[in-house]
C-alpha cells in the first residue's frame, strides 16, 4: 500500500517510514496538513497517518479539508495521538478518522492497527 505520513516531527516520520517500508509499503511524507493536501494532488495514496499537533495546518483542520474535498474524502485516515488529546480524539472521530494509534507506539502495534482498521 501507499501511505502518506503527516507529522511535524522528522523523527516520528522516520520511525513511521521505517516501520511501513519494512513491511513492504511505500511512504511519502508531509510536515503538516497544508503540505499533505499539496502532496495528495500528485501522489498516489491509499492511507493517511495523521498527527494532530502541527504548525500551519493541524490534524483537525486537515480532516475538515479532506471531508470537503470529494477527491480525497474517502481516503482512510489513522490519527497518531498522545494520551492527553482525548477531546481532539473525539473531534477527529466525528470528522471521519478511521482509527487511533497512541504515541509512542511499537512498530507491531502500528502495523496491526492499520491492518485491522482498513
Ligand atoms: Mg506534532
| pLDDT tens sequence across 5-48 | 999 999 999 999 999 999 999 999 999 999 999 999 999 999 99
pLDDT at 45: 97
Asked if 19 and 107 touch (Cβ cutoff 8 Å), the reply is: yes
CA of 99 from ligand 1 middle (Å) equals: 17
| 104 C-alpha to ligand 1 centroid (Å) | 12
Mean of the per-residue pLDDT values for the chain? 93
Calculate how far, in angstroms, residue 5's C-alpha sits from the geometric centre of ligand 1: 12
Mean pLDDT of 47-53: 95
Query: Once rounded to an integer, what is the mean pLDDT over residues 48-65?
Result: 96
Rounded to the nearest angstrom, the distance between the alpha carbon of 58 and the centre of ligand 1 is 8
Degrees (nearest 5) of the Cα angle 18, 65, 62?
35
- Among candidates 108, 102, 101, which has minimal Cα distance to 47? 101
Please tell me the distance between residue 54's alpha carbon and the centre of ligand 1 in angstroms: 5
What is the pLDDT at residue 3? 97
Q: Tell me, yes or no, whether 116 lies in a domain.
A: no
Number of domain units in the chain = 1
CA nearest neighbour of 39 among 12, 62, 16 = 62
> Does residue 61 belong to any structural domain of this protein?
yes
pLDDT at 38: 98
Domain containing 78: what range? 9-105
- pLDDT the model gives residue 5: 98
Cα(79) to ligand 1 centroid in Å equals 11
Domain of residue 50, CATH code? 3.40.50.2300
Amino acid at each position: 500500500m501507499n501511505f502518506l505520513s503527516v507529522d511535524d516531527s522528522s523523527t516520528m516520520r522516520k520511525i513511521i517510514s521505517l516501520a511501513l517500508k519494512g513491511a513492504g509499503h511505500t511512504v511519502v511524507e508531509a510536515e503538516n496538513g497544508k503540505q499533505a493536501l499539496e502532496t495528495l494532488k500528485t501522489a498516489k495514496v491509499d492511507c493517511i497517518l495523521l498527527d494532530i499537533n502541527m504548525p500551519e495546518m493541524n490534524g483537525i483542520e486537515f480532516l475538515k479539508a479532506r471531508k470537503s474535498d470529494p477527491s480525497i474524502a474517502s481516503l482512510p485516515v489513522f490519527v497518531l495521538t498522545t494520551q492527553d488529546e482525548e477531546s481532539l480524539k473525539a473531534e477527529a472521530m466525528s470528522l471521519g478518522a478511521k482509527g487511533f494509534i497512541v504515541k509512542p507506539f511499537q512498530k507491531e502495534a502500528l502495523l496491526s492497527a492499520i491492518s485491522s482498521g482498513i
